[in-house]
Structure formats: structure tokens, C-alpha cells
Structure 1
Amino acid sequence: MRIVTVAAHLVTAVATVAAVGAVPGRAPDLLYAAPSGHGSACSAAAPCDLATARDRVRGVLPHARGDVVVELSGGTYRLTSPLKLGVQDSGAPGHQVVYRAAPGQHPVLSGAIQVTGFRKTDPAKNIYRASVPKGTAGRDLFVDGVRAPRARSAQDPAGFSVTATGFATADPSYTSWTNASQVEVVANNAWKQLRCPLASITPGASGGSALTVDPGCWNNNHSAVPNPGFPFNGAGLPTLDRVTWLENAYQLLGTPGQFYLDSAAGYLYYVPRPGEDLAKADVELPVAPELLDLAGTPGHLAPLNDSDWRATYTGSWSYSSGRPTGDLGGDVHYTQQNGDAFSYTFTGTGLQVLTETNSDEGDMDVYVDGAKVSTASAKSAERLAQQAVVSVTGLPQGKHTVRVVKTSGDYLLIDGFTVIPEAIAPVHDISFSGLTFAYAAWNAPSTAGYVDNQAGVLWDPATHAPVRIPAAVQVHRGARIAFTGVTVQHTGTAGIDFADQTQDSTLSGSSVDDTSGGGVAVGEVDDYYQTQPALMTSGNTVSGNNIQHPGQEYQDAVGVWVGTSRGTTLAHNDIGYTPYSGVSIGWGWGWASSCALQAKQGLPDPCKHGTTYTGGNHVTANHVHSVMGVLNDGGPVYTLGGQASGSDFTGNVLGECVNGCNEIYHDEGSSLWDTHGNVVRMSNGSPWLHLWTPTIHDDHIYGNYSDTAQYQNNGTDITLEQSTVVPDGRWPAAAQAIIDAAGPGTPRGPVIDDDDLRISYLGTWSSSGSRNDGDLENGVHYSQQNGDSAAITFTGTGIGFLTETNSDEGDIAVTLDGVSKGTVSAKTAQRQGRVPVYSVTGLAAGQHTLTVSKASGTYFLVDGFRIY
């Protein structure tokens, strides 16, 4: 089981005191919940269940004069559906509704069923079987807190060729596989992971096996990949054109730690890892799709196309489709006749009308329910697509008609509209502290496949609208929602999501670890056109967190994803061990860059060009490391798309890229970034900066430090200063201060990985990840130069040094507090990981420094340290 930080519990205690003390002199209303709670007393002596506690809060809120607190006792709260909180469950500015762990307790909200009763059914392959309810669906399994992948083939199996309907191989053995429709083909291609279920496995025309992919998924992932272009995706379309592995067949079982679920028969099969006793193990099968859901109104807002059947056009309107100018759906309705009108009748509280603005357009009168309310203008100096020129909000709930009448200019274009179905009412002023959320399930890819766009943003298999992997903890249209000292872990979903234009909400001092999708998400991808502050994602903060091991199932996912947003702060987080980028912030590619810059990039003219409200974001003092473990074309921090106002990127420490990587990666359209005071270390041949195309513009990049001089700058109007290059780890004081200040600033446990910022590497060091050699966190730092050293200053009474031993390694010189302790050897006949070649205990309590140096051999590897 991975070591979980204890620092979050310290933060929780502080946060609990702060939350309860929000109104000085007023004791909070206090309710109690327990896993086995019942009744409605919700008292310390007779606690209730969580849903009852929530309902009791609703009764208390109208009379509360301070915080209303629900205190959860320790244990596992097994959920089959999420705990749902809405507007009626909200607190108020200055006094919150608080859900917190009882002192010294560790409550876990779990979406799993516990599986017991395993019996060995195949001694030759060491396969065990247990019964689960028939029809139980699940893609993920955890044994004693360790993820167990579904049974899969070897990586990149040989002999497959692409056919019109899937794949073919000369190997006939696949035709013996049972439950072919449960088998999944997976392809990693550039920055994408693509998945499809099979429809059948049949004998091939010339022998062998024909693997027919589900036709709908094959179309989406291979034959007709969605490609609307800016602002929804870029030009690249990696497709499902290879077999990286096959997954989820009983016949693939045999590797320890893998499982297969036969849903129809009601059997779970598992091959235990060495040392696992299934009679004693905690085997958890996630089944609940979500654990916590906070939802204000309205929910997700997405624009509808101008061709929607409910739109009425009166007069001499024409219709233009296939337009290359960035219009929604590539089409518009247009008229040249003053007095022509567009109208739309809806039930709700508002309507936004999207038009294309340009120099040849003019004014329009806006009527609501027959009364003129305003005159709007579509005239602009340059062509801009998808502009919310008309925005009617705040209407009383009910049936309304908005009518737009052309009054001047050569043209009036209608591109789309967004219905606001309910009053804008966020769920607000609710906080959570000290809780653990674990084991949530997402099963949609099992039937519809995984149609990837980028970074955990997908295409809906039916509508091709952009969608995202759902999270275990979801906030929809929240305001002042706070998570402090919580843990989100072991999920078949993403971790936590501030969605649907959530504002002024925080995740702090917490841990998000081991998620199938991304770790933390903020914002949306389809609200770039918004002009109304109440309908924007803004003011959210993700700070002081450990966010690690995202993308464990869907390997395109990232540690922190931020879409369209303004005023988002990412600060002092430790983000690492990711299969793709560590942080992805922004969306839209070159959408907000001018047509002139798009032409410089070689894009067509006329171009797809519009606006975004993104801006004023802060990426500060994060440690982002050990990224790009599987895919390529990303980096520790990856920015995308233009901004309406400047953002800053400062004080971050970035490094340990595994595959094709750019350390500071301002990608297509990135603009108005102030990028300074960052440290790039262990670049491993990657450039410290990557600006590849002219739509990247007006960025200021200066005062950075790196261990490489390599960079690329093809941007426009870039203020660029070469980094201070430090190739040997002897960082100047200013750079060392950045290193010391980055990350959460609290120890994560007694075992320290080789990526830890407390370790100083002097000499010609590199890092290596995705090794699969048993190393701590699957990676090491290494040197081939005698005299190169690694030093760590720690507080404790002892320390152990962990390395990887092998026949090509040699002696290691050890110095403790400046005193030589001789040498130890890392030379062994066989490769071994996590070997404690040196340890000492019984030191005087206090601060000590251990230095290990290469004395002989071809390689010297640092795997980590254990502090006592």
C-alpha cells in the first residue's frame, strides 16, 4: 500500500478550529453521523447516517446563528449513490455548513463493495474466484489499497494489422476467447489513449483471428474521428490504428495482481500477488459512480446550434454551412434585410444569442416577451465568431420569448444560443475536512469506448460534444466550497472536479492519489464565449496538495486540468508520477490568436477566430515531477490557448520528464504569460522552454534557471531571456530559494523518493522513469561519474539509503554529518530495487546530513531514503 501523507491530518485540525470559529462567541450547531448510524437524533450518543444528517441540517439552517457542523465518526460509509447536496444545503458567508472528521477519527466514504470468499479455481495459473451479485459492473479493483489492473496482453503484441472493421492476426488462438464483447482494444498514440470494446472475434479469412471492433466506437476512434477544430481541438488526429494491448479476457489471466470480472455470471477472478492472502485481504470493487455531488442551478450550460428546430427565422433569411470561420457547427443563418427577426421561445430564466461580429454588421433590437429591452451591436473591427452579443438573464422562471430584429448594417448572423433553464443559484458555503473519499466507478467505456480528445477531455460517443471523465467528488456551480485536509484516492474516475462555472472554491492541504482519470479539474471547455461574470469559472484555488498517480487507467489524463477560467490559483502543490502532463491549463488552441498569426502558422484564411474570458491565472511555487511516463508531447506544466488578461507562471520547480517532453510548454495560442523565476532540473535532454508556433504570442519569459540551455522560440512578440544554465546542480542562492519554497512544504512520510526536493544532486545526474524494475515510484536518479553525490538534510534519529543494485554498479562512499562512514557496495549478480545498502539509527534527535557519492562501477543509482 502506498504511504499516505499525515500532513493532511495536521491541516485538518487547524481547519476544523478555523471553521468552527467563524462566528466568534457562537457555538456551532453540532450533529453526529456514523457508518452504522440510524434514527434521526443525530446526537453523540445516537448518531445517524449521512443522508439523515444532511436532512437534519436543512431543518437547522433557518435558525442557525453560526456554523452547522456534521461530525463523522471513523469507519467506512458504504455508498451506492453519492451524498447529494444542493442549494438548500448551503450555509452563508461567514458561517458554513461543515462536514468534518471527528477528532482522531478517519471516516471513509466508499463506493465499493467488499468481495470475500475467494477459492482457487485454476491451480496452474493460480487463479482464484469469488462470487459477486450477477450484473455487477466494474472496471477497477483494489486489494489492500493497491490497484489491480484488468487482465491484459503483453505490451505491443506483434502480428496485428488494421482491417476495415478492426484488426487481424495470423494467430488463431484469439477465437477461443470467451465473452468477446467484454474484450477491449487499447491504443496509445502520441498524446492520446483510445479504447474500444470488440464486437466479435471470428476466424480470419485465411486462418488466424479477426477482431471486429464495436462499429460505433471504431467510427469515432478510427474512421471518422471528431474534428471540429478551434476552439474544441487542434489539427492533430491520432487514431486507433494499432494494438498497444488487449484487455479484459479471462484467457489473459495469469499475471499476479490482475483480475477479470464476469458480470453476467457473477464471478470475480483474481491472481494474487506474492504474499497476498485472499482470506485476509481487503478486496474492494468500486460500483458507485460518484461519492459526493454538490450541485447548484443551472447545471451545465452548452450552446445549441442556430439550426435547432425551436429557432424561428422571420423574413428573407439564408443558411450557410461548411463555413471555415469558427462558427458553432460551421454554419449560420443570415439576413441582409432590416426588420428580419430571429425568435426563440423557451422555459427558463435567460437566453444568450451567439452571433458572428464583423465590420459589415450592425445593430439589432432585442425584445423579451414583446417588449424591447435593449439594442445590441454586432459591429467589430475584425471578424469574431461565437460572440454572445445578446445576453438576457435574470428573468422570472417560466416561459419566455426572446426576439432579435435587424436594424442596421449589411448583415445579421445568428450562430447559436444558450438557454439558461433555471435561476443562477450556486450551492455555497459548505466545507469538508479530514474525510477520505475512495472507490468510485465509471463504466461507460465498457460499452461506448473511450473517445479521446486530449488530457481527459473526450468526445461524447453519440453527440460528439466535448465531455470529461466524471469525478468521485463533483462540484457543479459551487461558490465558496472548501475542501481542507481531505483524501481522494483509489478511484475508477477522476478525483475532484470544480465544474460548471464554480467560483471562489478551494482544495487545500489535501491528497489526491491513484485515480483512473485526472486528479483535479477546474472549469469547462465550452463556455469560452461567456460575457456574464456569474456564468464564468473564477477565483478558485488549488494549493498545498499532493496530487499523484493520476491516469492509472486513462493514460491521457493529467494531475491538474484547468479549462476556461479566470483568477485560478495553482500554488505550492506537489504533482507527480503522471502518464501524461503534470498540469494542463487553458483550452482553445489558436482560437483567440488573430487571423494574421494563424496565417503565420500556416492555418487557412479565413480563420477560426473568437474570444475567451480566460486570464488572470497564477501557477506559482509548484513542484511538478516524474511526468510523461507513458505518452508524449506534453510536459510538467502545459499551457494552451489565448487569454483575455495576463497570467503568471513563477517559482515552480519542474523536472524528471520520462518521455517526449517540454519542460515549460506554452503550446498553440498561449499568450500573455509572465513566466519567470522557475527552476528546471533533471531535464534529461528536454528543452527548458518550447514555443513552437507563431500563434504563441506576447509572453514574457525571463529570470529562469535550468540545467540545459536548449529551448525553442517560434512565437510572436516574445520577450525572452535565456535561462541561467546550471549543469551540475550547484544552484545559485536565488535558484535554491525557489527550490526550497516549492511544493506543500510538509514531509509526505518516512519514505522519500529520489524526486524529493530535499535531495541535492551534485554532478552530471539524470533521471529514469517507467523502469518496471521494482524501484520506488518506478524511477531513479543516476550518474556515471565518480565523485558525483546526492545529499539530504533531515530531522530525525536515523536514515536509510535505498538504491538499485546490479552487476554494473559498484561502491558508494557514505558521509554522515561530515564524517566518513566508509563505503558500501551496490554490486550484485542480479538487479534488485529498493535495496537499503546503508542505514543508521540511534542518532541524537535533530538535524543531520547524509551524503552518498559514486566511488566505482559503471552506474550509481539513487532510489530514495527512509527517515527514522
Structure 2
Amino acid sequence: MVELLGGTYRLTSPFRLGVEDSGRPGHPVVYRAAAGQTPVLSGATRITGFSRVDTAKKIYRAKVPAGTASRALFVNGVRADRARGPRNPSGFSVTATGFTTSDPSYTSWTNPAQVEVVENNAWKQMRCPLASITRSASGGSDLTVDPACWNNNHTAVPNPGFPFNGAGLPSMDGITWLENAHQLLGTPGQFYLDDSADYLYYVPRTGEDLATADVELPVATELLDASGTPGHLAPVNDTDWRAVYTGSWGYSSGRHFGDMAADVHYTSTDGDAVSYTFNGTGIQVLSETSSDEGDADVYIDGKKVSTVSGNGPERLAQQAMVSVTGLPKGTHTLRLVNTGGTYLLVDGFTVIPDVVAPVHDLVFSGLTFAYTTWNAPTAEGYVDNQAGVIWDPTTRTPISIPAAVQVHRGARITFSDNHVQHTGTSGIALADQTQDSTVKASSITDTSGTGVAIGEVDDYYQTEPALMTSGNTVSRSVVQFPGQEYQDAVGIWVGHSTGTAISNNDVGYTPYSGMSIGWGWGWASNCTLQAAQGLPDPCLHGTTYTGGNQIIGNHVHSVMGALFDGGPIYTLGGQSAPSEFAGNVLSECINGCNMIYHDEGSSRWNTHDNVVRFSNGSLWTNLWTPSIHDDSIHDNYSDTASYNNSGTNIAFQQATVVADGNWPPAAQAIVDAAGPGTLPGKVVDDDDLRVSYAGSWLSSGSRGIGDLDNGVHYTQQNGAAATITFTGTGCSFLTETNADEGDVGITLDGVSKGPVSANTSERHVQQKVYATSGLTAGRHTLTVTKLSGTYLLVDGFTLS
């Protein structure tokens, strides 16, 4: 056991643990906070010595160490934004190389190569650095985007199709905002790092004194890295230079059968062979199964080890026809010889370069991980696919945002009672086929990327249990404010996995979906279902090991604050075994939402006993296309009757529709059981499950005017009431006051405390219009009721 004393441990590179640092089953190595101590592992350097350099704009400047690069800054524990311009600036049009405008002022911007153009388009956020800003022929400004990034995000967006992305292909064709120019400074809470001159510029918020403020500039990407062997496994194409084909092989490209890179090598001649020399401990060969495929003999280092068959009743692409593991580490040669059938196809090879040895049996408890940055997008841009899965800008293969706390090929790794916060990366990643690992009773808040990520997107074909993501759990944790920089990121993301359990978490305040579960779109749906969706025939069709997952008892709320076409819990792709989606409370959609969203290819979900509320015009469930199939949707509760069921073989039951918050006992029991229990802290947001609403209420998020957690519930109905039951000695009610607000009735423990007024001539947010203290310690109930005026807003409560 290793105990850490309190204090800040500043890291410039991660604390690394390997297989040799592992514990034993039942006897893990434990890293924990000493009793009563709060150790913080920080990836930041503290910046001091600010002086004012622009009185009019209130800009301050401080020297930073030479060569410092960062995309993130935190002042007194609050995220600062890189200097940015107004949203959706007018007057820009697309050119062959970027954007142009009649406004000549952009040509005066300094360091144009540090400027970034950002666009939110549908479910994607795309970012590109500029190459230059020049005077246009018409006297305006030409913004030339970095050519490689412009190609990836605009001209030739990566589009391999299933199982890596879907049919929709939003591209960079507009500007949501411009970012990271010194000339954009002037808004409190924004910064600019001039890494060529080693100066940090910042505009303080009201109340911030930079002489005493804790200004943290992240410089590290990772804080903890626990890695087993081998690392990430990904197949290479059949055209790889190490593949030697002997005999009368043909080559076919541009196929629409789901082949890797849309090509294969094939032969119909017995005795034809392919050899592949590799360094490692194993190899897998991807092929196709079909009724016209036959047998092949497998040789390793000249010795026959097996006979395999590609014969099957259905055409399936990218099948692991050969899987050889457990070889002594070194140089080996695979030889695959055709012995029968009409065809033998070779589609790819996956080399296992090292022994399969997970880092294992480690526990991390009571630790805080804070302050990281990820600088790759500064030079390369951000080439988004979906939900924090992006395209490598060079190889155009799928990758993910790195995490502050990273596990690569782990087993029985436990994170308990930890805090991951204020990161320029994702929070925690259980990557590279990590198994039987747990995140529990932890908080992951304020991340630039995803909160918690599990699994991969490129191991769908896997048949070896040791090379699958399996048995992982995220439970009783709080995951809030993910995607604060990369707004496509989600709270909890799960790729291909089996036996994953996501239970009793609180996930909220997300710019895109709350959770994204599964991958592959319609890849695992057969060609008949794909044709019914209107997709090309033949089709991109294969298999996945994903299945047997559970999404149980979560509270997911205040989602879709920036992007569109997502939901509180979003599922994607097929499940190979039945999975369960039950007991969840899904609340407060802001934009472009489907509350229970089984998207393309989702199958074998048993979706029941969920509560949908404050859907704000969204469908309570949307099964929009025939490739969604064999799901059971029953015994759910909703405040809207609207739904779409265009799936195939769906056992569908309309939800019990509930008006005015009058949830029946069974639904209320689901609400009471959801989430991790009472959230810590003395501030209760309007989204909290301790707050119940009776009457006609709606929610409004991402208002941007200073609400507690950027959202409120509101009613225009006199007599509508909100109630909080709490344990303590005092409580106050936070609301908005304005000219359209009126009187509010206050009842404490069933006794009227008279009306209070929320009416003022000007708008004021987070106003404490009622407070009580000195109560007998114990359980109390406060109810606020709309009596008059146009609106009553509930922004939250504070407890003592």
C-alpha cells in the first residue's frame, strides 16, 4: 500500500505503472490518500507575476517558462476560455481554401497561424488552425485554413462507412467562432497564450485578484498511465508490404461488401498461398465468410497448426478467420494455403506484437487528478467523427481524445472515491481491451473531452476473449460538464464491449449526448435491414462481439447544450447478446434531442422502467430506421406521448404518459432509486432529483446569462409548485427576479411562510428571495408555489 499525504504533486509527465507493478488477484497494490489528507496530482504550472498591459480592456500579462504550450487555463479552479470572437460571425463565405469576408480588419491580426476556426455542425465540432490571413482582391480578408486540416474537415472528410462512421457527413462549411487571437481579448475569463514570446494574457473576472489568484496553466497531457502489453491492436490492410501472395491471386478494390479499405486479395486456385512475416506473439487474418468460401491450411514457421474455413450461410466481412496466439516472442512467418471452395479472401492482418499481459490488480482511492492539456489540435486541428472519437489527421484512422487517467490493457483496476477535474483532455479511459475494471463513487467534472471512456472502435471483429473489452463497471459516480472544449464529447462513452455495467451515475450538463453506448451503426444489421433503410446493396455487413451490457439506474440530465441529434442515453450498433436499459431517469433536453435514442443498428435492447421528463418537445424514444431491430420497449414513463417506431421486429409498448408531474408510485420509485444518491455539496441545482415539480413546468438550459449551472426550470401556471426535501438546519431558494416575475408562495414543513416577491425592474439571476436557518437538525420540506406574474423560475437551493 502506498499512502499519499496532502498537497499538490506537480507532474510534467505521467506516473507510469506497468505489468511489473501489478498486484495479485485479491491482493491489489493500493495507492490511496492518507487519512484526512487530500493529495492532488497536477499537470499544471502555477503562473504569477501578472501586470496590467491594457487598461481599457483590463488585460493582464505574465511571463511563462520558455517553450510552454497549452490550450487550457484555470483561475481559482474555474476554467478560462481561449480568446474567442462572437458566435456565428456574419459576412463569411466559403472559398476553395477557407473563408473570405469583406471586413479587412482581420488582416491586422498578429500570429494568424495560432488562430483557430471552429464550427459546430449537427453532432460534430470541427477545428482547424489558419495558415494565413491576407487582404482579398476585393479589399476584405481571406482566411486560409491549414491545407491538411481543410482537406480532412472540408474537402475530403474521412468516410469509410460502417463500422467506423455513418451515412451523414457534416463538414466544415461555416464559422461558429474564431479562437485564439490576441485581438479577440477583452471578455472577462478569457486568455491568450503567446507561445512565441512566452507571455500569458488574461482578462480577470469580477472579484479575481491576480496578485493572489491561483492561476494554473496545464502543461502535461497525462497524469497516470497504467499499461499492460501489448498496446493498441489494429488491423492492417491486405495490401501491407509484408504480405507476399504466391500463385494466381487477384485483387479487387472499390467493393461495397464491408472490406477493410474496400479491397481484398482473392484466389480460387487450390495451393495458392499468402505469407506474412511478423515480429510478435500472435497474428490474426481477416477474411470474408460466405457460401462460396472454402478451407485453408494455416502454417506457422513451416508447421501446420490448423485448418480453417470461410464457409458460411451469410456473407460477412472482416471475419477473424485465423487467430494464432501464444507464440514465443520473436520473428515468425504465417502461411495461409487455399485448399478448397470457390474462393479464399484475405482482407487484413492483426499482429499481436507482445505477450498478452495486462497491468492488473491496482486500486486508486481518494486521489484528485487535475489540470491537463492536449496540444495536438493546435497544429493538426480536430477532425471529428462522433462522440469524442476522431480521425487521426495523418492516417485517417479512428483515435480518441487522450485522458488524464489512462489504462491501457488493464485487468482488475479500481478507481474509487477519486476526483478527476479541470482537464484539457478526457477524464478516465479504460482502453485497449481493459477487463474487469471499475470506476466507482468518483467524480469526473469539467473535462475538455469525454468524462469516462471504455473500449475501442476498431476491435469489433475480435474472437479472442483475452482481446476483448469486457466486465467493466462505472457506478455511483458523478460525471458532469464534459466536452468543455471539444463539444462533441460525452459524459460516459462505451465502444465495443461485453458485460459492461453503467449504473447509478449522475451524468449532466453535456454539450452533446450524456452517454454514448456502442459503435458500428448498421454494421451488424443484415443486408435486408440495411436495404430497408435505403442503404446500398450489397451492403457493409459484419459482426461484433459487443453485447450483454447493462445501463441501469442512471440520472442523465441537461444534455445537448451545443450540438444536435443525440440524447441523454444514445445507443449505436448491434448487440450480439441481450442488453438491458432500465431504471434510468432522463431529463432536461436542451437542443435536437431524442430522450431514449436507440440509433442506427441498435439491437437486442430490453428497454424498460425508465422515466422521461422535461423532454421539451423531444420524442421520448426514436427508433427511426429498419436497421434498428429486435428491441423490446415496455413499461416506461414519460411526460410526452411522442415517439417514432420505424424499427424491425420491435416489441413496442407506448409509455405511460404522465401530466403535471403526477408520477405514479412505480415511476416515483424509479426516480428515487436513480443516480448515486444525495450529491455532495450545499448547493442543489434545479435538475437535482431531490427537487420535484407539480403542475406545468419546462426546463431551459444553456441560457448563458449566469444561471446556476446555466439552466432553470420555469412555469407560467399559477399554483405550479416545486418541492425539495432535505436534511439540515436551513435552506434558501434561488430564482431569477425580473419585471415579468411575481409573488412566490413559501411553505416550510407544511406551514406557510407568506409570499415573497421576485419582481424587480431589471433581470437578476441566482437571487436568494427566501432563506431560513436555525431549524432543528433533521428532515425538512420546502415548497415554492407560483402565485402571480408571468413566470416563476427555479434555479436551485442552498442547504445548511
Shorter chain as normaliser: what TM range?
over 0.9
In structure 2, C-alpha distance between the alignment counterparts of 1:360 and 1:164, rounded to whole Å: 47
Give the equivalent residue in structure 2 for 1:702. Answer: 634
Matches within 5 A, 1:276-295: 276-295=208-227
Give the equivalent residue in structure 1 for 2:516. Answer: 584
Give the equivalent residue in structure 2 for 1:108. Answer: 40
Matches within 5 A, 1:664-743: 664-743=596-675
Give the equivalent residue in structure 1 for 2:76. Answer: 144
Q: Would you say 1:549 and 2:472 are equivalent positions?
A: no
TM-score, L = length of structure 2 = 1.00
Q: Say which of 426, 435, 447 aligns to 1:494.
A: 426
Q: Which amino acid aligns with 1:170?
A: S
C-alpha displacement of 1:461 = 0.3
Matches within 5 A, 1:123-272: 123-272=55-204
Q: Would you say 1:382 and 2:318 are equivalent positions?
A: no
Give the equivalent residue in structure 2 for 1:16. Answer: none
In structure 1, C-alpha distance between the alignment counterparts of 2:317 and 2:739, rounded to whole Å: 63
In structure 2, C-alpha distance between the alignment counterparts of 1:427 and 1:746, rounded to whole Å: 34
Matches within 5 A, 1:487-566: 487-566=419-498
Give the equivalent residue in structure 1 for 2:778. Answer: 846
In structure 2, C-alpha distance between the alignment counterparts of 1:222 and 1:401, rounded to whole Å: 42
Give the equivalent residue in structure 2 for 1:20. Answer: none
C-alpha displacement of 1:561 = 0.4
In structure 2, C-alpha distance between the alignment counterparts of 1:161 and 1:286, rounded to whole Å: 35
Q: Would you say 1:434 and 2:434 are equivalent positions?
A: no
In structure 2, C-alpha distance between the alignment counterparts of 1:453 and 1:324, rounded to whole Å: 21
Higher strand share: 2
Q: Cα deviation per residue 1:190-235 (whole Å; 9 max; x = unaligned)?
A: 0000000000000011001000000000000000000000000001
C-alpha displacement of 1:687 = 0.8
In structure 2, C-alpha distance between the alignment counterparts of 1:127 and 1:201, rounded to whole Å: 24
In structure 2, C-alpha distance between the alignment counterparts of 1:746 and 1:303, rounded to whole Å: 45
C-alpha displacement of 1:443 = 0.2
Q: Say which of 606, 609, 634 aligns to 2:566.
A: 634
C-alpha displacement of 1:747 = 2.9
Give the equivalent residue in structure 2 for 1:470. Answer: 402
In structure 2, C-alpha distance between the alignment counterparts of 1:649 and 1:397, rounded to whole Å: 43
Maintained 8 Å contact 1:358/1:384: yes
Q: Cα deviation per residue 1:638-667 (whole Å; 9 max; x = unaligned)?
A: 000001101000000001000010000000
Maintained 8 Å contact 1:773/1:832: no
Give the equivalent residue in structure 2 for 1:646. Answer: 578
In structure 2, C-alpha distance between the alignment counterparts of 1:772 and 1:262, rounded to whole Å: 28
Q: Cα deviation per residue 1:456-515 (whole Å; 9 max; x = unaligned)?
A: 000000000000000000000000000000000000000000000000000000000000
Match of 1:663, SS state, is strand
Match of 2:326, SS state, is coil
Q: Say which of 745, 755, 766 aligns to 1:834.
A: 766
Q: Cα deviation per residue 1:129-171 (whole Å; 9 max; x = unaligned)?
A: 0000222100000000000000000011110000010000111
Q: Would you say 1:361 and 2:293 are equivalent positions?
A: yes
In structure 2, C-alpha distance between the alignment counterparts of 1:317 and 1:239, rounded to whole Å: 39
Maintained 8 Å contact 1:703/1:724: yes
Q: Cα deviation per residue 1:577-609 (whole Å; 9 max; x = unaligned)?
A: 000000000000000000000000000010000
Q: Cα deviation per residue 1:365-390 (whole Å; 9 max; x = unaligned)?
A: 11111111111000010100000010
Question: Gaps spanning 5+ residues in structure 2: where?
Answer: none
In structure 1, C-alpha distance between the alignment counterparts of 2:771 and 2:24, rounded to whole Å: 54
Q: Say which of 414, 418, 425 aligns to 2:346.
A: 414
Give the equivalent residue in structure 2 for 1:445. Answer: 377
C-alpha displacement of 1:795 = 0.7
Q: Would you say 1:801 and 2:733 are equivalent positions?
A: yes
Q: Which amino acid aligns with 2:86?
A: A
In structure 1, C-alpha distance between the alignment counterparts of 2:362 and 2:725, rounded to whole Å: 40
C-alpha displacement of 1:534 = 0.1
Match of 2:188, SS state, is coil
In structure 2, C-alpha distance between the alignment counterparts of 1:202 and 1:183, rounded to whole Å: 13
Maintained 8 Å contact 1:180/1:198: yes
C-alpha displacement of 1:830 = 1.0
C-alpha displacement of 1:829 = 1.0
Equivalences, count: 800
Q: Say which of 250, 269, 283 aligns to 1:337.
A: 269
Q: Cα deviation per residue 1:809-862 (whole Å; 9 max; x = unaligned)?
A: 100001111111110011111111110100100111111111100000001100
Q: Which amino acid aligns with 1:365?
A: D
C-alpha displacement of 1:773 = 1.5
In structure 2, C-alpha distance between the alignment counterparts of 1:215 and 1:198, rounded to whole Å: 9
In structure 1, C-alpha distance between the alignment counterparts of 2:38 and 2:529, rounded to whole Å: 54
In structure 2, C-alpha distance between the alignment counterparts of 1:576 and 1:291, rounded to whole Å: 24
Give the equivalent residue in structure 1 for 2:708. Answer: 776
Q: Which amino acid aligns with 1:777?
A: D
In structure 2, C-alpha distance between the alignment counterparts of 1:94 and 1:185, rounded to whole Å: 51
In structure 2, C-alpha distance between the alignment counterparts of 1:288 and 1:641, rounded to whole Å: 35
Q: Which amino acid aligns with 1:630?
A: A
After the TM superposition, which parts of structure 1 deviate over 3 Å for at least 4 consecutive aligned residues?
Answer: none
In structure 1, C-alpha distance between the alignment counterparts of 2:134 and 2:612, rounded to whole Å: 52
C-alpha displacement of 1:746 = 2.8
C-alpha displacement of 1:447 = 0.2
Q: Cα deviation per residue 1:97-117 (whole Å; 9 max; x = unaligned)?
A: 000000000000000010000
Give the equivalent residue in structure 2 for 1:327. Answer: 259
In structure 2, C-alpha distance between the alignment counterparts of 1:225 and 1:549, rounded to whole Å: 28
C-alpha displacement of 1:702 = 0.2
Q: Which amino acid aligns with 2:477?
A: N
In structure 2, C-alpha distance between the alignment counterparts of 1:247 and 1:125, rounded to whole Å: 17
Q: Cα deviation per residue 1:654-690 (whole Å; 9 max; x = unaligned)?
A: 0100001000000000000000000001111111000
TM-score, L = length of structure 1 = 0.92
Give the equivalent residue in structure 2 for 1:92. Answer: 24
Q: Cα deviation per residue 1:279-303 (whole Å; 9 max; x = unaligned)?
A: 0000000001110000000000000
Match of 2:733, SS state, is strand
Q: What value does the CA root-mean-square deviation take over the aligned residues?
A: 0.5
Q: Which amino acid aligns with 1:228?
A: P
Q: Cα deviation per residue 1:43-73 (whole Å; 9 max; x = unaligned)?
A: xxxxxxxxxxxxxxxxxxxxxxxxxx01000
Q: Would you say 1:824 and 2:750 are equivalent positions?
A: no
In structure 1, C-alpha distance between the alignment counterparts of 2:431 and 2:725, rounded to whole Å: 41
In structure 2, C-alpha distance between the alignment counterparts of 1:349 and 1:845, rounded to whole Å: 64
Give the equivalent residue in structure 1 for 2:249. Answer: 317
Q: Would you say 1:761 and 2:761 are equivalent positions?
A: no
C-alpha displacement of 1:548 = 0.2
Match of 2:488, SS state, is coil
Question: Gaps spanning 5+ residues in structure 1: where?
Answer: 1-68
Match of 2:594, SS state, is coil
Match of 2:323, SS state, is strand
Match of 2:208, SS state, is coil
Maintained 8 Å contact 1:701/1:720: yes
Give the equivalent residue in structure 2 for 1:400. Answer: 332
C-alpha displacement of 1:785 = 0.4
Percent identity, please. Answer: 73
C-alpha displacement of 1:124 = 1.1
In structure 2, C-alpha distance between the alignment counterparts of 1:381 and 1:84, rounded to whole Å: 48
